Amino acid sequence: MADINEARATFNRYDADGDGQVTPDEFKRAMAEMGDPFVTGPVAEAVIKSKDANHDGTMSFDEFWQALQG
Ligand SMILES: [Ca+2]
Ligand SMILES: [Ca+2]
């Protein structure tokens, strides 16, 4: 998924309140809505933390995009 428009659409699906930052809680709820109820709080936190380049506890679109670039 190297298409920035697709990435933006995916990011917006995670970012429930539209503030441009995905919190672990938003990520967990988005995964549950997409049919993956096994992403628990600690798992969601670990996923967000692994992409959280500036360590503010949330994932911005830039951080998400960078993570997609590998
Ligand atoms: Ca948000
Ligand atoms: Ca961040």
CATH number of the CATH domain containing 15? 1.10.238.10
How many whole angstroms from 60 Cα to the centroid of ligand 1? 9
Q: How far is the CA of 36 from the centre of ligand 1 (A)?
A: 19
- HSE-CB at 7 with a 13 A cutoff on CA atoms is 14
43 alpha carbon to ligand 1 midpoint, in Å?
18
Q: Where are the alpha helices (DSSP H) in the chain?
A: 4-14, 24-33, 41-51, 61-68
Whether pTM > 0.85 for this model: the answer is yes
Which domain, by its residues, includes 17?
Answer: 4-68
For ligand 1, the distance from its centroid to the CA atom of residue 15, given in whole angstroms, is 4
* 23-70 pLDDT per residue, tens: 999 999 999 999 999 999 999 999 999 999 999 999 999 999 999 997
The ligand with the least distance to the CA atom of 29 is 1
Q: Compute, in degrees rounded to 10, the torsion defined by CA atoms 61, 8, 51, 37.
A: 130
Counting the structural domains of the chain, the total is 1
